[in-house]
Structure formats: C-alpha cells, structure tokens
Structure 1
Amino acid sequence: MGGGTKTDSGESMGDPAYLAPWNRLVERNVVARFFDIYFRGAGQVFFQNNPLTGLLFATGIAYGTIASGTIPVLYGFLIALFAATWTALLLDLDDASIRKGLFGFNAALVGVALPTFLAWNGILVGYILLGAVASVIVTLALTAVLGTWDGAPLTGPFVVTTWLLLLASYHFGLVGRLPSLGPPTLPAASPAVPAGLNALSFADGFFRGVAQVYFINDLFTGLIFLVAIFVNSRLSGAMAILGSFLGLFTALAFGADPAQVYQGLFGFNSVLTAIAIGSVFYTIGWRTTIITAFAAIATAVVAAGLSTALSPAGIPILTSAFVITTWAFLTAKKSLAPKHNEPVAESLFGRQDGS
C-alpha cells in the first residue's frame, strides 16, 4: 500500500489481544486487510482504532436508519467510506495512516451528513463520491497546515467539505434539499420553555447525544455506539458518557429548546470533545478530567453560538463546535496539561487500547 512506515501487525498499532487472530488473517488476506482499514475508518470518528468497534458503529447506523426510515444515510456511509479508502490507496498515501483508517472517518461523516440534508437520487450519489474524495485531500491539506502547531485535523475536513457542498446545493437545481436543511433564517431568541425534565426524557437525550455524532436520532443506536466504544477503550467510553451528560445538562441549565436537547443536538459535539481531551490528547489524571468537563460544557455553548451564526447561511453546525473547542484546548495544551498527576484514571478505566 502507501508510502511511509509499514505497519506489520495489529500489535504494533496497540490493538487489544482479542484481535490477534483477526490481525493474522489481515496480514495474509488482501480482502480482510481492506475491510480492516474500512471499519477502522468508521471507528476513528470516535477516535477508536479498532475494526470491531467500527463494525459495531456500522451496525448501529444500520439499525438507526432502518428504524427511522432513513436508509439513504446508511448507503451514504458505506459509499463514502469505500470511496475514501480506495482514494487513499490509489494515491499511495502514508501506509500507517491508511492502516489506522485515518483517511476514512471524515468521509464516513460526509456520507451520513449529505443524505441527512439532501434528497436521495443518482445525483446525490455522485455528490457523496465527490465529497468523500475531497475529504481525503482536505485532510492532507489541514494536516500539513496544523502540523506547524502540533495540531490535528480532527473532523475539520468533514465540516469544510460538507459545508461547501450544502452551500453549493442552493445553486444546483438537481440536488434536492430536505426540510432538515434551511432555509436560511435570521437568528431569533428561543423562548424560555420549561424543560419537563424526567428520568426517561433525560436518558433518551443522553443516548441520542452519542448517536447524533453520526447524525442518527435514535436512542438504541446511541446505546450500541457506547458499547462499541467500551469494546475498545473503557476510558474513551467513560469520557463519552461524561460528554453527553454535560452537553445535555448545560443546554437544559441555560434554557435551550427541550425538543432539540432531547434529540441529542447539544450532546454530540461535547461527546467528541470529551473523548479527544480526556482520553486521546491529554495525559490521564484528575486535572485532565476537570479540564475535560470544562471543555465539554464550553462545547455546548459554542454549539449554540455557531447555530445562531450559521442560521442565515442555512447550514447546520455539524461537528464544528467540537473542532473549534478542541483546537483551542490543543493550542493551550502546554499550559493546561497535567505535569504531575496521579494515575487514578488509569487504574479505574484502563488504558485507551482496552487493556
């Protein structure tokens, strides 16, 4: 495959021991290797470099789209992830990055987002393919630019690519827009409405907050996603729980529209921020947990602000609140990262690789 350092085994990527038989098959069989890359790409949306986790995410997407009658979202996911994976292989990109699925996850999100906001037809399939390939190129560009500051593209390539495609759809008559997209409106203040809080609605919003990372508005999909994360990393799973809870709680505390809150629309960006800060980019420790909680709360506020700012353009915020907030915390990492911390989280949750 691509240039760069060859990854010879799953063990060298820090895979859990239970994947050893699968990894041996991957090294011998080119078809298995492709699907290994494919499902790792699906897993990387939540920072999980694990093909089983990615397969469970795909299962959750399939369940959620079938249950809600939005099967085109599943089709878009499968098509975009396939196209991006092949694009990375054909361009002979860095082999280690390909093996970890790092060129696939932004395309996977493009694939679920476009059918969420645009009508399904043959034109949209071409649009999805265009977006999937473009996301690989944008990933390379942002990686080069952000590398100067030791930053990571995160889901920035997905956000940029999808925003441009959605904005372009207003000029393309053959690209049909669904009611979920726009129309552009001037910002308006939300009235103070009682949240009607109860345990059932809170749990509903909590799990939907996890599912909405893939734009699936389904409680059971959120549960499947959480199980998938825990399969790979107990720490990441704990951070996902923290992020969804704090995003939901913050929105309710400030009086956001309960209908949007309980659909998980204020939780999914916070989920990604919490996983990124609490289990990927910062050193494990009690201080990092505090920073993670603050970042998750801040992300919910940023999401509300971006929703207001983007409403005149008629486009959704997608995962931009997560990207902006996490970039800010990565830039500030040198001054905020714990220097002498007790390995409390390590003993409680285990390492991120699931061991």
Structure 2
Amino acid sequence: MVTLRGVGQVMFQNNALSGFLLLAGIFYNSWLLSLAVILGTVISSATAQVLKYPKSDIENGIYGFNGALVGVVIGFFFGFSVVTTAVMLVGAALSTILMYEMKKLVPPFTAPFVLITWLLILVLLFVLQVPIVAPPILESNSLDLFFVLSKGFSQVWFQDNAITGIFFLIALAVNSPASAFYALYGSALGALIAILLSQPSSMINAGLFGYNAVLCGIALGNWKLQSFLWATLAISLSVVLNMAIGSLGLITLTSAFVLATWIVLYMQRLILKA
C-alpha cells in the first residue's frame, strides 16, 4: 500500500487505487518502465524508513513519489543496464534525503526529483558516457485534440501514449473529481497557450506543454473561483517557464510546474500579508 500511495502522490492522490491505476497505465505502455517506477518508489520509501523519517509521511507515500519519478526517467532516457539501474537506485535514495531537507524550507513537490535527476543525467552523459536512448518526438504538422489532451496526462510520467493518459485521468477521477477536472483544464489550457505562442505542433501533440500544466492545476485547484484563477495563472506560467528552461538546453522534467507553483504560492502569501 505504501508503494501504491507513493505512485499516487506523483499526481497528488493519497489513494492506493489511484496509484494502482497510474501504474497500470505505465505498464500498458512499458512493463519495464513500470518496474522502474516500483523500484524507485520502494528504494526511496525504504530510505526514509532506514533514516527514521516520520512514519505517517512514509505511509502516505510522501517519500515515495520523487523516487518513482527518478526511476521512470532514468529508465526512459537511458534504458536498463547494470550501470543505469545502480544510478537509479542511488538517485531514488538521494531524492528522499533532499525531500526531507527541503520540507523544512518550502513545499518541495517534485523539486527533489528534478534536481537529483539533472545531476544524474550529467553523470550518465559526461562521466559514465551512457548515451540517451529515448525515441525522438514524432513529427507532425497538424494538431490532434485527443493526443493533445491525453498525452498532457501521460507525459507527467514521461509516457508518450494516449491510452496511458486515459488510465491517468481515471486514476484521478476515482479519488478526486476536482483533480480530474483541473488536470483536463491544465492539459487543454497549456496546449492552447503553446499554440498561441507558435510552438511546434509535434511538441504540442506529444503533451510536452501539458504535463507541467496538469500538475499545476491539480496542486492549486479546487471548486472555489479564487483557486480557479490562481490555477489558471500557474498553468500559464508553466508553459512560459517550460519554453524558457528548454531554451537553456535542459530537459525540463517537472521544473516548470515546481517554479510556477512556488511563484503563485509566494504571491498568495504576499496578498495575505498586505
């Protein structure tokens, strides 16, 4: 149950059934990547237990989801070998330690995953000389609405599969209709803004401007109008940040979501103090 909750927490769902459906969606696309998710979650949760971090946080999957993302991203970009698996295990453990320390300062979200994975990518590419094996984005000159919306979901887990995205939508809906609504809204609005900013159709179809927006929507949205407006701002910021970070030559991962959400939370704090 701890592992499934850890998987669910990637999309803010403290629900084992949601975690199972997310894992099933990944398995549908790649059974190897689903194993990487399980391995990353187990290692990061076990690290928290060994270091005697708060039991309630461990049981609720708080120390599992960053490790889950480390696992799936290393597997996706670099494939599976003794070297990449060892790096994956170390990264999952380090993400737990960084999560614990960051929690003292800010809401970490997936920042530990982002920072650790950027470091691991540098090590794999330039120290261990492991090449990237991830397939290229399929070229497209026209937009496919189903792909645009669904892959905005699936790319949260770096899965370029529209059916996987449907699994993820169901995983949200069974636990939180509000999360499902805001995820759909985030995927749609993120794509629309990317279109207005003249981004490539192939990237929009692949959901690459949707997944950070999806996470922003889930993180900030509820049924109140004020939350809708804040979520809309964060979603919009995530697209601009996604473009800016990508222009630096970095793999964006979920950094645009983290930064956009931090900015909005800071703005909310300033308004409350005023």
TM-score range, shorter chain: over 0.9
Structure-2 separation of matches of 1:107 and 1:173: 21
TM-score, with structure 2 as normaliser: 0.94
Structure-2 separation of matches of 1:87 and 1:173: 25
Residues 270 and 297 in structure 1, CA contact (< 8 A), matched pair in contact too: yes
Percent identity among equivalent residues?
Answer: 32
Partner residue, 2:125? 170
Q: CA RMSD in A?
A: 1.8
Instruction: Tell me the alpha carbon deviations over residues 155-191 of structure 1, each in whole angstroms, 9 at most, x when there is no partner.
Output: 000000000000111233363432569xxxxxxxxxx
Partner residue, 1:263? 206
Instruction: Tell me the alpha carbon deviations over residues 187-245 of structure 1, each in whole angstroms, 9 at most, x when there is no partner.
Output: xxxxxx99634xxx111111001000000000010011000001000111111011000
Partner residue, 1:241? 184
Partner residue, 1:99? 59
Structure-2 separation of matches of 1:126 and 1:213: 24
- Which runs of no fewer than 5 residues in structure 2 stay unpaired? none
| 1:299 counterpart (212, 231, 238) | 238
Alignment of 1:308-323 (within 5 A): 308-309=247-248, 311=249, 315-323=250-258
Partner residue, 2:103? 143
Greater C-alpha radius of gyration: 1
Partner residue, 1:221? 164
Instruction: Tell me the alpha carbon deviations over residues 28-58 of structure 1, each in whole angstroms, 9 at most, x when there is no partner.
Output: xxxxxxxx11100000001100011001100
Structure-1 separation of matches of 2:169 and 2:270: 31
Quick one: which amino acid aligns to residue 158 of structure 1?
Answer: F
Partner residue, 2:265? 330
Residues 103 and 136 in structure 1, CA contact (< 8 A), matched pair in contact too: yes
- Which runs of no fewer than 5 residues in structure 1 stay unpaired? 1-35, 66-70, 147-151, 182-192, 338-355
Residues 57 and 225 in structure 1, CA contact (< 8 A), matched pair in contact too: yes
TM-aligned CA deviation for residue 290 of structure 1: 1.9
- Residue 202 of structure 1 pairs with residue 145 of structure 2: yes
TM-aligned CA deviation for residue 73 of structure 1: 2.0
TM-aligned CA deviation for residue 289 of structure 1: 0.8
Count of residue pairs brought into register by the alignment: 270
Instruction: Tell me the alpha carbon deviations over residues 126-173 of structure 1, each in whole angstroms, 9 at most, x when there is no partner.
Output: 111001100001101111222xxxxx0000000000000001112333
Structure-2 separation of matches of 1:298 and 1:205: 19
Partner residue, 1:251? 194
Partner residue, 1:45? 10
**Larger relative helix fraction:** 2
- SS class of match (2:206): coil
Structure-1 separation of matches of 2:238 and 2:134: 26
| 1:110 counterpart (46, 70, 78) | 70
Structure-1 separation of matches of 2:253 and 2:110: 10
Partner residue, 2:226? 287
Residues 119 and 176 in structure 1, CA contact (< 8 A), matched pair in contact too: no
